[in-house]
Amino acid sequence: MRPRGRMWARRLAAVGCCLAVLTGCSGGGGAPKPPSEDAVLAGPAGPPPASRAAITALPADDTQNLPPDGPVRVTVAQGRLVSVRLADTRGSEVPGSLSADGTGWAPNGPLPLGTRFTLDAVAEDDQGQRAAQHADFSTVARAHTFVAFFTPEDGSTVGVGMPVSLRFSRPVTDRAAVERAITVTADPPVEVAAHWFGGQRLDFRPDRYWAPGTRVTVALRLKDVQGAPGEFGTQNKDVRFTVGRAQVSTVDLDAHTLTVRAGQGGRVVRTLKVSGGDARHTTYRGVLVVSEKYRVTRMNSQTVGMGDEYDIKDVPHAMRLTNSGTFVHGNYWADPSVFGTANTSHGCIGLADVKGGTSGESPAGWLFEHTIPGDVLEVRASTGDVVPPSNGLNGWNLPWAQWVAGSALRATASPPGAPSAGPSAVPAPGASPSPGPASSQGPGTGPSPSAAAGPSPVARP
């Protein structure tokens, strides 16, 4: 769930850039391989100098069932904390206190039960170099109860590819009972179906992308519903969001271009030069939906088992495409000539940029400012794996029949007045996009963290 919390935050100092998170990028090329001698980051300069500030954040990223009294704290060695933000999924911030020497921070009291939190910290060393740390965790729900964390946020405006994604605080064994207690309706009406990814994630989507202007209501009627023996839901809540303008862009990694398309007719707004994953770290193909945006973030190869290849603490204009770490992001350290000519990344889609994440004029900055969560990138390439549907908000890569088959209720009836939807497919790069997603090579396997569960570590600038 995304419960309303009675919280506020303490800012530690004015910060000229957004908070960063510990992330990375990964593509669809399989298990990472040791780099060859000439497999280095593009450009003669290499990665920027690393900050000496070393941040430690507790709890660890993706901790679940944390006791309300933690431990939750942030400490830094060889530096001072510039900013700490602890907030629930609605953005309500938790008050905390900074130590007198600026090297430690902790919340002022216990945290609410059954709540998902993000913890973001920024520190600065004596040379002004900044480091960032991110943790995403949830507190334990009351004994014998479960809650649902939801994406997107209540009251938000999203792109046409945004599904409804629910992650349950405890495994669900009676999926039919839980699914029956959740309804997703759209105005104007369209058929919406459910699909389970394992026992803790349930997503909903229509056959094709939402129509712009659609108003969606998610009715959670989980209170007293038994999801597993002795485990009962606690929520009676409505979540509402609005689908904004249509933006379905196409990425041709063979031509090294990203074509931004607007409106249901697919009008070309701008074509940008990109660099995708190299032959050893191919970028995922298929329909990829933007789930999160970070003006500045950290990418570390250790988060995907790639050793010490890189640790870039200030990757600008980063937008998450998968939980495993594929991003479209700015790149200021590479030779500008690679954009539009070569695929040189570790799996992400890179665009030319400048340091700081403040410019809206660079290609990456422009795309960042013109993108909202739920916008779609339809990625085509001659090599690379199709993204697993459970990896991020990318269930569009399942054909509709397979999607509906993942419902515990096998519901297929359309509501009165709902339009019938025909087959959908991803267009070839350069063609006008269809109103629907790509077909897939098959379903995803087993439970996988959803966007509602927060970011997972990954790598590849």
Active site residues: 329, 348
Q: How many angstroms separate the CA atoms of 424 and 14, rounded?
A: 48
Distance between alpha carbon 131 and the CA centroid of its chain, in Å? Answer: 21
What DSSP line would sit under 355-368, residue for residue? TTS--SSSHHHHHH
Residue 37: partners with Cβ closer than 8 Å, 6 or more residues away = none
- Alpha-carbon span 427 to 442, nearest angstrom: 19
What is the rounded distance in angstroms from the CA atom of residue 155 to the CA atom of residue 136?
22
The DSSP element (H or E) to which 404 belongs, if any, is helix 400-405
Under DSSP, the state recorded for 333 is S
Q: Which amino acid is at 439?
A: S
Determine contact, residues 228/174, Cβ cutoff 8 Å. Answer: yes
* Tokens found for residue 368: 């960042």
Cα separations (Å) of 460 from 25, 46, 118?
4, 14, 22
Cα separation, 90 vs 153, in Å, equals 7
Q: What is the CA radius of gyration of the chain?
A: 22
**Cα–Cα distance for residue pair 237/222, rounded to 1 Å:** 9
